[in-house]
């Protein structure tokens, strides 16, 4: 019987009916203790009947129902405070000090090589429609392992917005258990007995697959069956032409939840990597020849999702070392992405009206900037500005993208030489600012740091990109208008009186 209800005693406090599952790794039990006491796992000494619990193995730590488990260790705030320091200004603070001074969101504690899961969750959290669907999810609705994973992610999303470090640790422990139940290989252990590192892209795929099953779309206005398909799902028009026989081209449709950017010697930019994937050589059975033949596969996007996920295919299996080795090549990616050229002619025609509106607004902003510069001398007043936000989707297809314009909102990076080692981190946009979510450490970073994640060395390399729709805000009144009098038509300032 691997599950026990035990009593946890910490100082003068007693916590009855705490569940301990010896099928899980000990660090998960320590995460539960952290949720109860606020004592970080690395500061805990957990003892039962004179035996101390290790991080990587239960060993001789024998449990039974109603067993008394003693916890020793202090919360960080219980440590005697350092002398009061002189006031520091924001300009003089480093990243850690900024994180403490600013209102930073909660991070997720690393439960032992679980950075791949933490980074995935932080990236997905940036999609408001997905987050809202998870917060509204009925956690008692069942649904097998996919339902358990969705329920655990729902709780994690809830506590990330103010549940405190302890609550986040408990939610992360539940999420990890649910992930292991759905994907048993993620529970594999390394040579030292601790949890083995896993591939963040595989984790992303498994979580999205579970959500695809368990998050139904809101009623009305869409053919999608789930929130995932509605906001992440795209469609391709595919043409297959046989290079070895004269046979009519085969035309079909394929769906996708993410696009792949294969990295070759010639690929230096994300756009070229995506473009090369849209035209490739494949081998498949030819009915005409009665054998495998080479086909040219040409794909064009016929439905753009609101949120576009792109994976850099950075890992390949190296037989000699039996590892998924990493391609470190520098591949630049933009903050603003335009995928118009990857779309079918029919979709391009549908995208044109909204693209024209973006161009009109951009031209107007440039013109206004010139006018303001020319009128920067003289009396002026500001006119109240209100803006109308235009839908980013087609009227008959909520959750689509109606312009082909995207803005980067999350990057999941890997640092290391193989997918089974190293470290994963999420870099997420919050408004106009960027955050680095390194497990439970969340710190602000300048935008230029994000653009340095393109690879080329042992620093963090972008592995997964998440682009959201670029939203068009149209001013309903003249924005920040400058009303001036006595301005020369040529833009010259008034002549000073003698």
Pairing of strands 308-313, 461-469: antiparallel
Look at residue 153 and give its three-state secondary structure: helix
User: Has 414 been annotated as catalytic?
Assistant: no
Q: Which residues of 28-38 are buried (b: 16+ CB within 10 A; e: fewer)?
A: bbbbbbbbbbb
Bridge partner residues of 5 (DSSP): 19
Alpha-carbon distance of 129 to 242, in angstroms, equals: 42
Residue 52 parent element (H or E): strand 51-52
The answer to whether 491 and 375 have CB atoms below 8 angstroms apart is yes
Alpha-carbon distance of 68 to 47, in angstroms, equals: 9
Catalytic residue, from 48, 115, 123, 437: name it.
Answer: 115
- Retrieve residue 76's tokens: 């960080």
The answer to whether 93 and 101 have CB atoms below 8 angstroms apart is yes
Nearest CA to 113 among 476, 423, 410, 483? 423
Dihedral sign for Cα atoms in the order 292, 298, 302, 304:
positive
User: Has 460 been annotated as catalytic?
Assistant: no
453 to each of 170, 200, 310, how far by Cα in Å?
31, 16, 14
Say which residues have a Cβ less than 8 Å from residue 229's Cβ, sequence separation at least 6: 212, 217, 255, 257
> What angle (nearest 5°) sits at the alpha carbon of residue 427, between those of residues 179 and 165?
60
Alpha-carbon distance of 312 to 118, in angstroms, equals: 19
The answer to whether 323 and 282 have CB atoms below 8 angstroms apart is no
Pairing of strands 250-256, 259-262: unpaired
In 65-109, alpha helices (H): 95-101
The answer to whether 46 and 34 have CB atoms below 8 angstroms apart is no
Alpha-carbon distance of 238 to 410, in angstroms, equals: 29
Alpha-carbon distance of 225 to 219, in angstroms, equals: 10
Look at residue 133 and give its three-state secondary structure: helix
Q: Supply the DSSP symbol for 77.
A: G
Pairing of strands 68-72, 3-10: parallel
The answer to whether 37 and 58 have CB atoms below 8 angstroms apart is no
Catalytic residue, from 123, 242, 261, 423: name it.
Answer: 423
| Conformation bin of residue 64: beta by default, left when phi > 0, alpha when psi is -120 to 50 | beta
Say which residues have a Cβ less than 8 Å from residue 270's Cβ, sequence separation at least 6: 261, 310, 331, 332, 333, 334, 337, 465
Annotated catalytic residues are 115, 423
């Amino acid at each position: 019987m691997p599950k026990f209800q035990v009593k946890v005693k910490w100082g003068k406090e007693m916590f009855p009916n705490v569940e301990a599952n010896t099928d899980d790794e000990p660090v998960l039990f320590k995460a539960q203790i952290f949720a109860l006491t606020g004592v970080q796992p690395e500061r805990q000494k957990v003892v039962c009947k004179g035996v101390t619990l290790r991080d990587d193995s239960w060993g001789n730590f024998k449990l039974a129902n109603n067993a008394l488990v003693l916890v020793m260790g202090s919360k960080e705030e219980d440590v005697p405070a350092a002398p009061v320091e002189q006031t520091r200004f924001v300009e003089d603070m480093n990243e850690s000090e900024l994180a403490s001074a600013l209102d930073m969101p909660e991070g997720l504690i690393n439960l032992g090589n679980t950075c791949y899961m933490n980074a995935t969750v932080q990236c997905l959290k940036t999609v408001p429609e997905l987050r809202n669907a998870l917060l509204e999810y009925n956690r008692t609705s069942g649904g097998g392992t996919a339902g358990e994973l969705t329920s655990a992610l729902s709780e994690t999303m809830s506590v990330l917005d103010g549940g405190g470090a302890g609550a986040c640790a408990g939610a992360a422990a539940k999420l990890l258990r649910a992930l292991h139940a759905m994907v048993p290989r993620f529970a594999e252990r390394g040579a030292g007995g601790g949890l083995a590192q896993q591939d963040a892209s595989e984790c992303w795929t498994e979580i999205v697959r579970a959500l695809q099953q368990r998050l139904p779309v809101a009623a009305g206005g869409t053919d999608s069956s789930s929130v995932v398909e509605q906001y992440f799902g795209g469609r391709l028009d595919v043409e297959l032409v046989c290079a070895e026989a004269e046979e009519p081209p085969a035309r079909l449709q394929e769906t996708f939840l993410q696009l792949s950017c294969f990295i070759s010697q010639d690929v230096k930019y994300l756009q070229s990597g995506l473009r090369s994937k849209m035209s490739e050589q494949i081998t498949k059975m030819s009915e005409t020849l009665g054998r495998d033949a080479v086909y040219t596969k040409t794909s064009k996007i016929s439905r753009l999702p609101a949120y576009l996920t792109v994976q850099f295919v950075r890992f390949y299996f190296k037989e000699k070392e039996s590892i998924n080795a990493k391609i470190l090549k520098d591949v630049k990616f933009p903050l603003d992405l335009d995928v118009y050229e990857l779309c079918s002619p029919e979709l391009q025609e549908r995208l044109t009206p909204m693209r024209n509106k973006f161009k009109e607004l951009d031209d107007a902003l440039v013109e206004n900037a010139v006018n303001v510069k020319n009128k920067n001398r003289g009396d002026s007043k500001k006119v109240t500005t209100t803006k109308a936000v235009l839908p980013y989707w087609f009227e008959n297809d909520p959750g689509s993208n109606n312009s082909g314009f995207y803005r980067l909102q999350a990057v999941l990076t890997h640092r290391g030489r193989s997918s089974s080692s190293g470290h994963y981190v999420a870099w997420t946009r919050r408004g106009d600012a960027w955050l680095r979510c390194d497990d439970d450490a969340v710190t602000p970073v300048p935008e230029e740091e994000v653009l340095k994640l393109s690879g080329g060395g042992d620093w963090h390399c972008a592995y997964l990109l998440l682009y959201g729709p670029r939203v068009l805000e149209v001013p309903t009144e003249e924005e920040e208008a400058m009303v001036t009098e006595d301005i020369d038509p040529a833009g010259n300032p008034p002549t000073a009186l003698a």
